[in-house]
Structure 1
């Protein structure tokens, strides 16, 4: 067998083996060319401050973080709300009726585990189809398209019912 034939035979054997190798066959394809928001440009940062002492602070389980004492309130303020809204415990008074209606049929304590198992099975089925994705396209939104709401159709439906809806959210 000539040297060139050995090289071609090695490539013919190695190619399918490399294609069948394991790895995560998730629905999302993250790469350097992916576009998206820069989360760090959204949140305003406080200026650095010199601590009173360089000794490590004692841990406070369940307490606040010295670097970020009110993260929820800061996030709410960044989005245009009141920072004090992040300090309230329990359900806000404006949402009590909503929570009551949502829980009227009872609350399943294992709902998170149930949904996680069902979604894992769904993604496993979708990943089988995604295995044929040789171009490396992101198939996440196509896989979940049947479960997505059309914002503009919902806007029209709610307006037809007489619900005051100012506008639909912008598209992706």
Structure 2
């Protein structure tokens, strides 16, 4: 009887150890549910950009009033720097006016009409759709993102569409090989 108790305790201890180690695995197994919904491997090292050195302007009275959400004089603007390096005009990135070269593109995009409040309408419809078709209890419990599942029937199937176009003798670009994931 005593031998059985010791053997049973060993089995229980071994199972507890396996469960504890499995709980630490945040890559694929059960441990990912206990990792607080973290799905990434850490910060994006390319998103960290050092600031320009601080400089004192010639005239402090000429500085604009500070306002929340505005740029700092020492903030780097990589997109602006890239446009300038390629010979473009970085100030046009911040412009909201329509330039002469953009007129034909805008005319083609709005040829069937355009709703100025389209973003607000879509956001409202999306919120209603997601509320009506929300995640199941276990998906909520384990913080599973169901966005792709919710819109599965509205997603263009690229490979199927490409195959259909090729069968219809429409020239299509090459497609990357399908991964086995």
Q: TM-score, normalised by structure 2?
A: 0.50
Within 5 A, what are the aligned runs for 1:66-145?
A: 66-68=73-75, 70=77, 72-74=79-81, 77=82, 82=86, 84=88, 86-88=90-92, 89=95, 90=98, 93=101, 96-127=103-134, 129-133=135-139, 134-145=141-152
CA distance in 2: counterparts of 1:50 and 1:115, whole angstroms:
43
- Matched position secondary structure for 1:42: coil
Q: Which residue of 2 aligns with 1:16?
A: none
CA distance in 1: counterparts of 2:163 and 2:116, whole angstroms:
35
Q: TM-score, normalised by structure 1?
A: 0.52
Q: Is the 8 A contact 2:51 2:74 kept in 1?
A: no
**Shift of residue 124, structure 1, vs aligned partner:** 0.4
* Structure 2: gaps (5+ residues): 1-34
**Shift of residue 37, structure 1, vs aligned partner:** 7.5
CA distance in 2: counterparts of 1:92 and 1:44, whole angstroms:
36
Q: Deviations over 1:21-67 (max 9, x none)?
A: xxxxxxxxx9353126844x2246245413226x7943277x86413
Matched, 1:45 2:52: no
Q: Which has the larger radius of gyration?
A: 2
Within 5 A, what are the aligned runs for 1:24-39?
A: 31-35=36-40, 38-39=43-44
**Shift of residue 83, structure 1, vs aligned partner:** 7.7
Q: Deviations over 1:109-134 (max 9, x none)?
A: 2212211110110110122x433534
Q: Which residue of 2 aligns with 1:20?
A: none
Q: Which has the higher contact order (CA 8 A, sep 6+)?
A: 1
* Structure 1: gaps (5+ residues): 1-29
